[in-house]
Amino acid sequence: MTTAVDIQGVSKRFRLYHQKYTSLKERVIHAGRTPYTDLWALRDIVFDVEEGDTVGILGRNGSGKSTLLKCICGVLQPTSGQVVVRGKLAGLLELGAGFQPDLTGRQNIYLNGSLLGLSKTDIDRVFEEVVAFAELEQFIDQQVKFYSSGMYVRLGFAVAVNVDPDVLVIDEVLAVGDERFQRKCLDRVQQFQDQGRTIIFVSHSPDQVRAICNKAVVLSDGKMIGHGPPGEAVRVFRENLLEAGDILALGMEATTTGATATPIASPPAGHPHPIRISGVSLSYPGSDERPYVVTGEPLTIALQFEASEPTAASFVVELRDDKGGVLVRTVSGDLDAAADVVAGSGVVSFRYESVPFTDGAYDLSVGVEHRAGGELFDWKEAVARIEVMNPSKAVGLVALPVKVFVEQASGVVGR
């Protein structure tokens, strides 16, 4: 395949000045030397994006995601290394980027289109599509400084996707739009994918990266710490969120038979979280004899945990399909089963009375968070794979229990 974007050892340094000398006297005394500290926003980033790929970029705030996109779009020049882009690139980097606030929406469409290499004739041809997509017919001749943040995003995205780019770069600005517009944007992204366009997509949502991207990159403190399939990248990203210093959260093993979990080593000294998951096990009828669950059988998922202090904890279980879509997400706190655990070890069990899925394999992820929400104590991505076998003739994703009644004038004739 042809490489659409080639990131070759890109590093970007900024200088943080601690003091500014504004007077002539100060500048003469210090001979133009102003003390500063180097901040490396990116360090030796190397990966390539093939034509037709949709690549997600994950990372904590300050990890270098937006700086990398600006280097790809040519807004910033790398301190070292280079970015090679083959084809026309359109980018939606940040709210209001490229807009002139004193110009109208109409004038900004022509301005942005010309910056992306379109002639006036080309912009005339797509102008109505841009306005219709942005839903700004009533406001297109108003100055954009009077636009709301949502209107900014709608206009920026509409311009970016209607200039027929070979490479589309999208930053986190879509989070500003309302849910309906986000859905509209994601539908357009799907159209781009169907047409074989290349997309680089930054998001704070691992679920969105799973759903949209076929590859993903994880950044941390300006360094690339993960590159591969979305599921693996999400695992690295979530482990990075749980870092203590330079120590990654521990991995874990799982057993798919019986009810005894493989023990996990104790966390390193200084682990910041008061509770962690130390093991997981699955049990179902016949789990000692076969490695799969039969559709309709009960299933128990048991999580072993270690608490270093009393904690208000809520446990989480997720089952995902092979595309990363969430099929089941069960949170103990939502079921009024959050626990005030004491220091020491324990087990929390999730019992599903009937597995509804048909044939397939489903990834199990587990976690524990604060009962009030907002603080994630531990998360283990894809700790086990649950195989399901369906002996009936039912097709589809789930097999719902059902009874069929046939009625005629003479009464019920079959069921």
> Residue ranges per domain, the chain?
3-236, 249-389
Smallest Cα–Cα separation from 165: which of 197, 202, 213?
A: 197
User: What phi, psi does 342 have (nearest 5°)?
Assistant: -100, 170
The predicted pLDDT at position 269 comes to 42
The predicted pLDDT at position 259 comes to 38
249-389, which class in CATH?
mainly beta
Smallest Cα–Cα separation from 310: which of 349, 272, 275?
A: 275
The predicted pLDDT at position 268 comes to 41
Smallest Cα–Cα separation from 284: which of 378, 350, 379?
A: 350
Residue type, 405: F
**C-alpha distances out from residue 218 to 14, 59, 64, 113, 243, Å:** 21, 6, 10, 32, 14
User: What does the alpha-carbon distance between residue 415 and residue 413 come to, in Å, rounded to a whole number?
Assistant: 7
- Residue 184 belongs to what H/E stretch? helix 179-194
User: What does the alpha-carbon distance between residue 255 and residue 282 come to, in Å, rounded to a whole number?
Assistant: 7
Neighbours of 406 (CB within 10 A): 8
Q: State whether residue 155 is helix, strand or coil.
A: helix
Pairing of strands 215-220, 54-59: parallel
Please state which CATH number belongs to domain 3-236.
3.40.50.300
SS (H, E, C) 47-79: EEEECCCEEEEEECCCCCHHHHHHHHHCCCCCC
The predicted pLDDT at position 198 comes to 92
Q: Kindly give, in sequence order, each residue whose CB lies less than 8 Å from that of residue 345, ignoring residues fewer than 6 positions away.
A: 278, 304, 305, 306, 307
Q: Which residues face 400 on adjacent strands?
A: none
pLDDT (tens, 9 = 90+) of the chain, 415 residues, equals 688 999 999 999 998 876 676 666 666 666 656 677 888 999 999 999 999 999 999 988 888 898 999 899 888 899 999 999 998 888 777 655 668 888 998 998 898 888 777 788 888 988 998 898 888 888 999 998 888 877 888 888 888 888 778 898 888 766 556 677 778 888 888 888 888 889 998 887 787 788 788 899 999 889 999 898 887 888 788 777 765 333 333 333 344 434 334 343 344 444 467 999 999 999 999 888 888 999 999 999 999 999 999 989 999 999 988 777 888 999 998 888 777 889 999 999 999 999 998 888 888 999 998 888 667 888 888 888 899 988 877 778 888 888 888 887 776 556 6
Structure tokens at 66: 């937006």
List the beta strands (DSSP E) in 182-298: 198-202, 215-220, 223-228, 254-255, 275-283, 292-294
The predicted pLDDT at position 243 comes to 58
- Yes or no: say if 343 and 330 are a contact pair by the CB < 8 Å rule: no
Tell me the pTM: 0.67
